[in-house]
Structure 1
Amino acid sequence: MYEYLHQFSLNFWLAFAYVMVALGAATYLISLGITSIHLNRLSQNAQSSPIKTTIMCFSQAMVCMIIVLYFFFPLYSTYKVPLTLVMFIFTYTARYYYWRNLSEVFNENKTLRIIYSGIVVGAIGCCLIHLLWFFMKGAGPCCLGQELVKNPASNYILKVQIPFLMNESFSRFVKFFTITVSIVYIRFFLISLKTRDYLMIFGLLISVLNIFYTTSYHAFGFKYWIPLYFVVDLLEYTRLQQLEVTHFANKLNEQKQSYHSMIHDLANPLQFTNLRLQRLKRTNSIDDSKEVNAIYEGTKSAIDILNNYKNVGSNESFISDIIQEVISIFPESNIIYTRPKNEVRVNKGIIKNSLINLIKNSHEALKEDLEWIEIKINNFDDRLIIKVIDNGKYVDFKTPDSAFDFGTSSKGDKRGVGLYSIKKDIEKINGNLKLVNEESYTCFTIEI
């Protein structure tokens, strides 16, 4: 464009359109990068996303800006050589994060991830060596040969991008990495076909076609190549950021549900403690040791729950000691429990809170029809099974499959937190919670 600023030739308009495309791509990529920065700032308390698009987007935006700069240099300027090497460094930096993100999406194994990283590190290393070589010896020995040979291509945009023919060693370097990158892109495309992510599939298809197009020039000398590599990955970049946004949205939703669970869990012991305080107030007596002990255990359980949510209540205790503490919170309940022969230590905060929730559920579900609750322990070599059974009929549980869904409850609106909360907590310690039929009675089974 430098030579054509004084006249409105065809080459000028081609260059102008090309520059506008590059600037548009750069602007879009910068907006994606800024969005990613704000996502991470707004979600500081959420778990970091395995997909990271910030550096990827900004690096690719730099590639677009360098492409624009080419048009403001004289057509046959050797200063384009270091500019090209810097552009390659940004290209492979973006590619490193791009491939790493795709590896997360497609769950690539460690060996392949190391290979992808090796390709990128090798390419960046070669570019840095040639860049140093340029500043020490000049453009000829570095990349172009002793005699500078102008690119004979008739394509003006191609000549702006690559004004000189490369020497044999640098040409081999470009061919090798172009073909290697082609293989990686083809692999990602083939993996994507197994998914139903059509935007990703379409984006990778375009990228693969562009790679073939690029390889046709660098490896086979196709003379009508127009460099478009800086825009073809935009669909995948967009999709990757959508996945990054989805991750943070899910984490924030989990936090919201966790807060609901904490409030629900705290309400259980506090509610029973409050009932006992009201009873003591009516009788004006504190001589009832059962009531006093129940109040003590209720407040202690509330503290345990708070500590558990602060991740400082993960200490272990013997299962029978935990169950006895839970039983003491419900002195009027007929809770049947026999100590197992072999005691085992478990996470006190999670197991205690789970048992309190399950017993409270029995009270709320059966009310005055509650006759008994039995807690059974089956201790095997590799797992522990805790069963909480009541005299409620399993067939009365209308939707057993959805019992653990958030917000699902037979007790009315704005309920359905307890069982969901218990299941999530049990899963944190690699356990499982099920609703099963135990001799026609309702039975919740905790397996850890």
Structure 2
Amino acid sequence: MTASLTQTARDLASGSTTATRLVEEALERLAATEPDVHAWVTVAADTAREQARALDAGPHRGPLHGVPFGVKDIIDVAGLPTECASPLRAGAVAAADAWVVQRLRAAGAVVLGKTVTTEFAYFEPGPTRNPRDLSRTPGGSSSGSAAAVAAGVVPLALGTQTAGSVIRPAAFCGVASYVPPVGALSYAGVHPMCPSLDTVGFFAPAVADLALVRTAVDGRADVPVARTDAPTLLLLRGDELGPVEPEMAAALESAATALTAAGARLTELTTPLSPLIDDHLTVMEHEAAISMREDLTAHPDELSDILRTMLEKGTTVGGAAHDAALARAAAQRDLLLGLLGDADAILLPAAPGPAPVGLGATGNPAMSRPFQLMNMPAVAVPGLATTGGLPLGVQLVGHPRREDDLLATAAWVEARLG
């Protein structure tokens, strides 16, 4: 795995490395891993080198000065195609950077290229393989971004999440990821699917790196300080949301034991959340059918079977059903936020188990669906593994108005699981 983003940023600030050197190292690592991993769809080598040279020749730009990063290929980068893994967008060059890309560039980061996405960020897989086991899926839809970080090519990559597309790939690939609340970051310049659910997210080697990125995007210099006191956590075993594989259940139990031994206070969360899975599907299908109405009407044969089927179903979901699903989610959210008034985060599996064998599917997002519908931020925390060494991720879900606290709590948990 690549060095932590935080350490890389320190090395750049101290002058012990340069933007040019980091970009060249990233390109070398990409060339070495790409024949097996297939994480990248476009590599902007020349422009990355040019930007790195400019950064090395000028003043220190910001907290991410010289850090190379990857961008999921539904997010616009000026001068590069945004193809969304679909022939319907082939060769569609973006005229401007997406808002989040602008913010990372303003902090000094360097775009290395575009990473593989599933078709329109839904479930039709791309060619990307899991760097931890090439026979397994990296997850989706932010497949290439998770794999690019896990393969050690870049210490930072952008993804998006509508169901579980940032949390699940991080868990499968053994890296950290963060999903802010829906609406916390502008989605301008990102291909939309479901406005009530879509959000940009980040991948990095470790949780502390995510806090650095989150504050850099905001233009803040005050990276949250490390947490020293033990948190209070609500433990959700995940069984209610869907089948949890035995090794994941055992790993979560082991994590709970280790965190309790370190001083954390854990209480079982018994609030029923499984009805929100169907509500998430209702909202997703309805809004996706609206967002992609033109593609479905004009080019149905250019869509994969799985995407076309979902969009066709979405055309039958009425506005009343959609609004009722959102209302139920809002009521449940109020209940959970009340519980989080006395606790720091909810601890649960990030995925039902390790990455499944095969590249024909991207895994089950059930562990993320309810929280994405409730617009609650989540962190995928690496550190656990199966007996065979495959990554197992847990996630922490927190209060939407306490993002810094959630990231600090996740870093505390990561340190006790590592």
Give the TM-score range, shorter chain. Answer: under 0.3
TM-score calculated relative to the size of structure 2: 0.24
Q: Which has the higher helix share?
A: 1
Which structure exhibits the higher relative contact order, with contacts defined as CA atoms closer than 8 Å and separated by 6 or more residues?
2
Structure of larger gyration radius? 1
TM-score calculated relative to the size of structure 1: 0.23
Q: Which has the higher strand share?
A: 2
